[in-house]
């Protein structure tokens, strides 16, 4: 997973560019609306909405934008009806790709995603083709700077975390989805600074990519998919060595 984690770090560096374009606000507003429509407008009783609001605040979204999105989601204000749709596909080298989208036009979205896959050396697949490769987990990120690894490991496992993974600039704490909030709270009470905490999809197995052209195609596919307005999250099970990721990722 080292290579995939490195891609996640590259993504976060690009988040500031997305914020400047306003793209991240668009995606966050859609997520808030869908979460509110599916689970109600009270964040204390709707974990998904609570997480969406936290992400919006972290991106410095104005409070009134958040509240308006909630009202639109619950139907208190008129607005576009967004539908959550999951798409599956294969990237270069047979990499499994899972896409979470929010769309107001499924026909348009699937046509555009099919074109993106084709252009980047992959193909869109039928429902159920790759979903089995992934499992839902809680993911907490803690910055490595000034973090005592042994204390973090002890606190995380004691709180109910499944695993703690160490990377160049951060620690990943893996939990069961239902344990995410409790582990996050325990780590904060222990004095650790949480970068982010969310429910995500983690691959059960990975596909190693060592060919530069294939790696470039795969990262181009990820970048293009994530840049699509209807796409909220993209998950893939590629593993690209750090050295190759650094070289190829810098040009994406």
Give me the CATH number covering residue 62: 1.10.10.200
CATH code of the domain in which 173 resides: 3.30.70.980
210 shares a domain with 196: no
6 shares a domain with 43: yes
66 shares a domain with 128: no
The whole-number pLDDT of residue 3 equals 43
120 shares a domain with 155: no
106 shares a domain with 214: yes
The whole-number pLDDT of residue 214 equals 94
157 shares a domain with 139: yes
* 13 domain residue, yes or no: yes
128 shares a domain with 214: yes
| Domain range for 18 | 2-73
* 149 domain residue, yes or no: yes
Domain count across the chain: 3
The whole-number pLDDT of residue 146 equals 77
Among 73, 95, 119, the domain boundary falls at 73
Q: How many CA atoms lie within 13 A of 64 on its CB side?
A: 0
Residues 162-190 have pLDDT tens digits of 999 887 778 999 999 999 989 999 999 99
* 78 domain residue, yes or no: no
230 shares a domain with 138: no
* 174 domain residue, yes or no: yes
pTM for this entry? 0.79
* 229 domain residue, yes or no: yes
Given a cut of 50, the residues of the chain with pLDDT beneath it are 1-4
Long-range contacts of 68-74, Cβ-Cβ distance < 8 Å, separation of 24 or more: 69/29, 69/32, 69/33, 69/36, 70/32, 70/33, 70/36, 70/41, 71/41, 72/33, 72/36, 73/32, 73/33, 73/34, 73/35, 73/36, 73/37, 73/41, 74/36, 74/37, 74/40, 74/41
The whole-number pLDDT of residue 1 equals 43
Taking the C-alpha atoms of residue 33 and residue 217, their distance in angstroms, rounded to an integer, is: 33
213 shares a domain with 199: no
7 shares a domain with 46: yes
* 124 domain residue, yes or no: yes
* 103 domain residue, yes or no: yes
The whole-number pLDDT of residue 13 equals 55
116 shares a domain with 210: yes
* 122 domain residue, yes or no: yes
139 shares a domain with 188: yes
The whole-number pLDDT of residue 2 equals 42
């Amino acid at each position: 997973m080292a290579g995939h984690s490195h891609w996640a770090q590259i993504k976060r560096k690009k988040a500031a560019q997305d914020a400047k374009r306003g793209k991240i606000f668009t995606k966050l507003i859609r997520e808030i609306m869908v979460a509110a429509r599916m689970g109600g407008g009270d964040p204390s009783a709707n974990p998904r909405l609570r997480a969406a609001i936290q992400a919006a605040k972290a991106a410095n979204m104005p409070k009134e934008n958040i509240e308006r999105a909630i009202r639109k989601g619950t139907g208190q204000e008129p607005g576009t009806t967004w539908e959550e749709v999951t798409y599956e596909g294969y990237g270069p080298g047979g990499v499994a790709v899972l896409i979470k989208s929010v769309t107001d036009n499924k026909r348009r979205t699937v046509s555009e995603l099919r074109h993106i896959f084709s252009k980047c050396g992959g193909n869109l697949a039928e429902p159920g083709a790759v979903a089995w490769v992934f499992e839902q987990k809680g993911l907490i990120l803690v910055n490595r700077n000034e973090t005592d690894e042994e204390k973090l490991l002890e606190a995380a496992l004691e709180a109910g975390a499944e695993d703690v993974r160490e990377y160049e600039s951060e620690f990943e704490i893996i939990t069961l989805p239902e344990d995410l909030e409790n582990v996050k709270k325990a780590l904060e009470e222990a004095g650790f600074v949480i970068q982010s905490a969310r429910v995500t999809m983690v691959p059960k197995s990975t596909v190693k990519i060592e060919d530069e052209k294939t790696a470039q195609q795969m990262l181009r596919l990820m970048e293009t998919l994530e840049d699509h307005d209807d796409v909220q999250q993209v998950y893939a099970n590629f593993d690209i060595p750090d050295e190759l990721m650094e070289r190829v990722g810098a040009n994406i």
